[in-house]
Amino acid sequence: MTKLLLVRHGQSEWNAVGKWQGKADPPLTKLGREQASLAALELPDFNILACSNLQRAQLTAEIFAESIGWDKNKIITEPRVQERDAGGFSGLTRNEIDKKFPGFLENNKWPDDWESDQNLLSRLLEGLTAIISTSEKNDQIVVVTHGGCIYALESLCGEPYKRISNLGGRWFDIEGEKIHLGDRVHLLTEAEETFPDQI
């Protein structure tokens, strides 16, 4: 059985101003970099560190490595664990979405170019499988990814939606094709957490 801790990246510049991101690639804020440094000290022991190819996840993983003296050249970058494509919502605040797409958010409707759960889970699971394939049996793996990816896997395991903070995480146990839900993890104190409600 492989244990994976999926961790949401630190606060990005678009998180800070309430813009939905999706596959857009804004960097971490100064606070986001500080969050990553603090969170690194609370990480469990791990054998593999991986991240998506979006810079907010890559920099978070690099800060993890630097903070604990782990060789950042060993970080695995896996594009398939990047955030859901938010389509027409990308770059917009909640108020701007309500103006451009009236009634969508309150009715859980999405633009036509929104990445479906099926497509997101398909490529996410392919990416996690590729990361796991580099591991030994019983390795613990940390994957720096995105809120939408964590929510999708939680939903697949029957868990209802609950916002996750920057640098919050969730354990998953992977056994063959079976995925078992583990605990949510808080790598920051309550005072240090930020809760962007957009992906």
CATH number of 2-186: 3.40.50.1240
* pLDDT computed for residue 1 by the predictor: 79
Number of helices followed by number of strands (H, E) in the chain:
6, 6
**For residues 21 and 143, what is the distance between their CA atoms, to the nearest angstrom?**
19
Percent of the chain with pLDDT over 90: 92
Average pLDDT of the chain is 95
pLDDT digits (tens, 9 = 90+) for 110-160: 999 999 999 999 999 999 999 999 987 778 999 999 999 999 999 999 999
Residue 149 is classified by DSSP as: H
pLDDT digits (tens, 9 = 90+) for 35-53: 999 999 999 999 999 999 9
Question: Rounded to 10 degrees, what is the CA torsion of 42, 43, 45, 47?
Answer: -160
Q: Angle CA(188)–CA(199)–CA(39) in degrees, nearest 5?
A: 15
Q: Are 179 and 172 in contact (CB under 8 A)?
A: yes
**For residues 51 and 193, what is the distance between their CA atoms, to the nearest angstrom?**
20
Domain coordinates in residue numbering, the chain: 2-186
Known catalytic residues are: 9, 83
164 has pLDDT over 80: yes
